[in-house]
Amino acid sequence: MRFGIVTFPGSNCDQDLRYVVEEVFEIKTDMIWHKEDLENNYNAILLPGGFSYGDYLRSGAIARFSPVMDSVIDFANQGGLVLGICNGFQILMEAGLLPGAMKVNNNLKFVCKHVKLQIKNNQTPFTEKLERDQILNIPVAHQEGNFYIDDRGLDKLKVNDQIVLKYLNDSENPNGSIENIAGICNKKRNVFGLMPHPERASEDILSSSDGKKIFESLISFLKEGVN
């Protein structure tokens, strides 16, 4: 099994992600610079958090045009598994792989804290080891995490069961995201973006290992496919 982690100028969670995949799960990982193309033998592609290109213009807007993204889009369109965390989620939306957009947090401030989340769809490769409505404790760290989509788009998310993760309630919502949405997938379920950082909650020493369950789901799904 082999994962690829894409690094953009300004990424700052790529090594955290590499540590979890390689050290916690012992999965071979390649760090892919944004000017490179993907090779054809990855089981999953991960887009990490950070501030790609300094968040100039808006988060993820410039990274979407990095050379690597053409092959990431092709990989996803062919059914490859893609996980975008925080800035990675923002890039996936800018690239058109996920619907919606991110606004600045309602309080206009950077928010960094643990929040309670609830699984709303456990029928995805990224959540199959979790129970529907299960509560997770995972940190967020962002200033533009206020997920927005118009009424028609929101209806489509609901009809297609694409809302994977929500903040538990209004008081746990750190940014004003519409209907407390914290993570969504595409219709085919092979692309998943979320604002919380599961890689920062994958060992007990970090106050929570709840994020580990997302990686466990992804790896289990891939192993099932191999068998």
Taking residue 77's Cβ as centre, other Cβ atoms within 10 Å add up to 13
Q: What is the CATH number of the domain that holds 52?
A: 3.40.50.880
Q: Is 94 a catalytic residue?
A: no
| Of 181, 226, 220, 197, the residue nearest 19 (C-alpha) | 197
Q: What mean pLDDT comes out for the span 90-99?
A: 98
- Whether 36 sits among the annotated catalytic residues: the reply is no
Q: Quick one: tokens of 187?
A: 């219709």
Residue 227 has pLDDT above 60, yes or no: no
Q: Which residues of 212-223 are buried (b: 16+ CB within 10 A; e: fewer)?
A: bbbbbbbbebbe
CB 93 within 8 A of CB 100: yes
Pick from 210, 190, 188, 204: which is nearest to 118 by CA?
210
The predicted structure's pLDDT at residue 210: 98
Distance, CA of 25 to CA of 149 (rounded, Å): 35
Q: Which of 86, 142, 144, 172 is catalytic?
A: 86
Quick: pLDDT tens for 110-125.
999 999 999 999 999 9
| Segments in 30-167 forming alpha helices (H) | 68-77, 87-94, 151-159
Q: What pLDDT does residue 226 have?
A: 58
Burial grade of 41 (CB within 10 A; 0-12, 13-18, 19 or more): exposed
**Confidence tier at 225 by pLDDT (50, 70, 90):** confident
Query: What are the φ and ψ backbone dihedral angles of 53, each rounded to 5 degrees?
Result: 55, 30
Q: Is position 179 annotated as part of the catalytic site?
A: no
Give pLDDT tens digits for 133-162: 999 999 999 999 999 999 999 999 999 999
| Domain coverage including residue 24 | 2-226
| From 34, 114, 142, 197, the catalytic residue | 197
Global confidence as pTM? 0.96
Domains: count for the chain: 1
Of the residues 94, 144, 172, 199, only one is catalytic, namely 199
Q: Give the pairing type, strands 135-142 and 111-119.
A: antiparallel
Quick check: 180 pLDDT over 80?
A: yes
pLDDT-derived band of residue 11, with 50, 70 and 90 as boundaries?
Answer: very high
